[in-house]
Structure 1
């Protein structure tokens, strides 16, 4: 019996060098592609965050001043917050943020869950209703603000239309009323975002194991008990994700307020983002504007960081 000896092909030094170079290029290619984006992000996101934080501890006015003066800008903001008659709109801004954030997030979650449960009943026309509910999210806040501004204008929109139909006693002037103008921002914001929340909840509902639902129904659970004890607890991750997205959108809302109310009568519809822009670029108080921007960043971080921590902790298990 003869045996055939097998030997590996012998590579020349040039071939070995070529394979080694090709392997190094393949390993380095992702880093080369991502390097420009990484550098741009470091400079124009985190670099400017650090720069803004630095300016908040200076006495910058129209132009940056790099001499540190301590937390005077923050002291001015918080003094304006707790005074009964603050000399600025910071008190109004944070009050509006509390009203807008609570109603915007709460109503979007409740309405989105209701619409998702409704569509999950396999109703006729679901394929038509889904894009109708989702369509507002495709619009920019500028378009949403302008459209609702026309609709809510007493001399042009809903009120004038109902007057033409004979209901002359109907009045809806919230958009011109400083005490109610923030609620028009809530209406427009909920109209735009509730469809997106509905899509998130609908995806969560479609992912629930049907066997669990059938077992509960066999045990005699009513529809209300089914959703309260089984479905809604299983949707907890969706609730958390939707809350994070909505809270982030609420805190950084600016263009919706400007397009819808132009800030409201006397700045009565201002949010912290509007305050920051006004004081930085119009009132030449760059340090105060920077301080308000850092407070907004800390607020967003207080929401997002615990969420990221819980997600990373869950993955580590």
Structure 2
């Protein structure tokens, strides 16, 4: 004896079943992501220290935060790190993408080589570059062993140069990913437009500067959003590479937030810094999503 589900019931199941399957995940996301975001925002207005407190103190924690010298150092470092990280990754990624787009032999080997660093965690990247940049273990020591005794490269120990070692390690890891984004953009450009420009006598320089690169504007925007997001929340790379040092020379907002929340027992100040970081990310992502939705419509 067979049992047949009516067509109306089948259509109802098709609509309800996906929602039933996804509802537990959505419920957990609402609690453990957005719920804790709201809770962090609430803590930033309390006098919480080692443990959460529910006594409201208004904007006192934000006033205290902007009066912290370490917070201002973290913002200055973020400006240096973010600008150099985004600019170098975009320039290097574009150059690599143009190089691979020339239909060179061995592209299938070079592409995964460029992308390989992105497969590593920032902890592994930071540890490897820490060994490489350590004057007693890495590049400087190797040069001395080869007889170049005058060679020095101690940026990781120099308070004024340490932040640039974080830039080097971050660029090494992310530039291959940006290259893949630009390569996809280059492969999506209409070849007929390029052929027409070549027939009109356009040089390769004019071809790239006036036709190809302007058409990569959406890729530039996407790369900027991704890299800016990574820069603002950078934590594990800094901890593995410099641990915020020497001194506070490589302090970033994420390391500031962790130290004030979990080691200095100033939970409310740490929550305030987390809210500021969230506002920074939202200021980048929300306009991007709005522009994408508007173009889609």
Distance across 2 between alignment mates of 1:219 and 1:18: 64
Distance across 2 between alignment mates of 1:70 and 1:238: 42
Q: How does 1:93-104 map to 2 (within 5 A)?
A: 93-104=74-85
Instruction: Please give the secondary structure, in 2, of the residue aligned with 1:253.
Output: coil
- Correspondence for 1:127 among 74, 83, 108: 108
Distance across 2 between alignment mates of 1:238 and 1:22: 42
Residue 160 of structure 2 is matched in structure 1 by 179
* CA RMSD, Structure 1 to Structure 2 (Å): 1.3
User: Structure 1 stretch 22-31 or stretch 268-277: which is displaced more?
Assistant: 22-31
Residue 50 of structure 1 is matched in structure 2 by 38
Instruction: Please give the secondary structure, in 1, of the residue aligned with 2:94.
Output: helix
Aligned residues: 295
Deviations 1:240-288 (A, max 9, x none): 1111111111111100000011211112111100000000000000000
Distance across 2 between alignment mates of 1:188 and 1:26: 48
Instruction: Please give the secondary structure, in 1, of the residue aligned with 2:234.
Output: coil
- Correspondence for 2:141 among 160, 173, 178: 160
Instruction: Give the TM-score normalised by the residue count of structure 2.
Output: 0.97
- Correspondence for 2:58 among 70, 77, 99: 70
Q: Does 1:111 align with 2:92?
A: yes
Instruction: Please give the secondary structure, in 1, of the residue aligned with 2:250.
Output: coil
Q: Does 1:309 align with 2:297?
A: no
Distance across 2 between alignment mates of 1:32 and 1:259: 42
- Correspondence for 2:176 among 195, 198, 212: 195
Q: How does 1:273-292 map to 2 (within 5 A)?
A: 273-292=254-273
Residue 238 of structure 2 is matched in structure 1 by 257
Deviations 1:85-124 (A, max 9, x none): x3xx111110100000000000000000000001111122
Q: Does 1:34 align with 2:15?
A: no
CA displacement at 1:18 relative to structure 2: 5.4
Distance across 1 between alignment mates of 2:115 and 2:9: 50
Q: How does 1:201-216 map to 2 (within 5 A)?
A: 201-216=182-197
- Correspondence for 1:268 among 249, 255, 277: 249
Instruction: Give the TM-score normalised by the residue count of structure 1.
Output: 0.91
Residue 13 of structure 2 is matched in structure 1 by 25
Distance across 2 between alignment mates of 1:17 and 1:234: 52
CA displacement at 1:78 relative to structure 2: 1.6
Residue 59 of structure 1 is matched in structure 2 by 47
Q: Computing the radius of gyration over CA atoms, which structure comes out larger, 1 or 2? A: 1
Q: What stretches of structure 1 of length at least 5 have no aligned partner?
A: 1-14, 81-85
CA displacement at 1:23 relative to structure 2: 3.7
